[in-house]
């Protein structure tokens, strides 16, 4: 997420993961939906509304510790940094969702041991019109072991995660995220309507190419 988390992703698009859609794809890291070896890189096409751009994320040789977890530092061609971490079967990133006023929070975006239709939840606190508000996040595994084509490139063993966001008990939208084993995020699409009928926010991220070191 270009802005995918760090760039992820999400409401504003914040962090991002990785992939490289080549016809002859390099060997990938099996059993891991977030390979973060130093020097690995992912190129994405990012569309917000009707405007598109491209950016590149590269895994650096630096780590940082936050909330008791070790995060890999990733640099983006737009000058921003991203932070991704993995603990057992749980995958974390720092995300920001500007569309609803969330500047930064630790997001558990994937649990690779969850079965089809299983869920987990999270929350993001923020201020809206001076009030403290909590956005409730519900993640659902909508697909496992799927095949998906992105920018003309076929990916196998893809996990599809649906994120639904609710405020004051009412849904305001969400997003669909697709992760390729051994590669990372290959596609996401987000549509959120802020509280009080604000202007809807939409974005889409698609993998263009990747190189796993």
Residue with tokens 């990372």: 184
pLDDT at 55: 95
- Please indicate whether residue 66 or residue 159 has the higher confidence score (pLDDT): 159
Q: How far apart are CA 174 and CA 186, in angstroms?
A: 17
Are the C-beta atoms of residues 38 and 60 closer than 8 Å to each other? yes
Question: Could you tell me which of 31, 138, 145 has the C-alpha nearest to residue 88?
Answer: 31
Q: How far apart are CA 184 and CA 18, in angstroms?
A: 5
Longest dimension (CA), the chain: 52
pTM above 0.75, yes or no: yes
Are the C-beta atoms of residues 14 and 5 closer than 8 Å to each other? yes
Question: Per-residue pLDDT for 193 more than 70?
Answer: yes
Q: What is the DSSP letter of 180?
A: E
pLDDT at 100: 57
Question: Per-residue pLDDT for 126 more than 80?
Answer: no
What fold characterizes domain 41-211? YmcC-like fold (2.40.360)
- Please indicate whether residue 44 or residue 101 has the higher confidence score (pLDDT): 44
Are the C-beta atoms of residues 58 and 44 closer than 8 Å to each other? no
Question: Could you tell me which of 190, 179, 186, 211 has the C-alpha nearest to residue 89?
Answer: 179
Question: Per-residue pLDDT for 132 more than 60?
Answer: yes
Question: Could you tell me which of 50, 167, 181 has the C-alpha nearest to residue 97?
Answer: 167
Structure tokens at 199: 């202007």
Question: Per-residue pLDDT for 16 more than 90?
Answer: no
Q: What is the mean pLDDT of the chain?
A: 83
pLDDT (average), residues 49-71:
93
pLDDT at 102: 61
The 10 Å CB-count burial string (b at 16+, else e) for 5-32 is bbbbbbbbbbbbbbbbbeeebeebbeeb
pLDDT at 129: 67
Question: Per-residue pLDDT for 10 more than 60?
Answer: no
pLDDT at 26: 36
pLDDT tier at 199, thresholds 50, 70, 90: confident
pLDDT at 32: 93
């Amino acid at each position: 997420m270009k802005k995918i988390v760090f760039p992820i992703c999400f409401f504003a698009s914040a962090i991002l993961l990785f992939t490289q859609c080549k016809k002859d794809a390099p060997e990938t890291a099996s059993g891991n939906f977030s390979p973060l070896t130093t020097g690995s890189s992912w190129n994405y096409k990012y569309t917000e509304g009707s405007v598109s751009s491209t950016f590149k994320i590269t895994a650096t040789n630096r780590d940082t510790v936050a909330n008791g977890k070790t995060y890999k530092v990733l640099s983006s061609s737009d000058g921003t940094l991203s932070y991704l971490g993995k603990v057992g079967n749980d995958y974390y990133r720092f995300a920001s969702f500007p569309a609803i006023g969330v500047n930064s929070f630790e997001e558990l975006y994937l649990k690779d041991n969850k079965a089809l239709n299983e869920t987990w939840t999270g929350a993001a606190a923020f201020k809206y019109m001076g009030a403290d508000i909590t956005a409730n996040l519900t993640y659902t595994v909508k697909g496992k072991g799927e095949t998906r084509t992105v920018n003309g490139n076929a990916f196998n063993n893809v996990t599809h995660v649906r994120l639904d966001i609710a405020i004051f008990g009412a849904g305001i939208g969400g997003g669909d995220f697709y992760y390729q084993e051994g590669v990372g995020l290959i596609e996401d699409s987000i549509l959120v309507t802020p509280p009080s009928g604000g202007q809807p926010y939409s974005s889409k991220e698609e993998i263009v190419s990747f190189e796993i070191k």
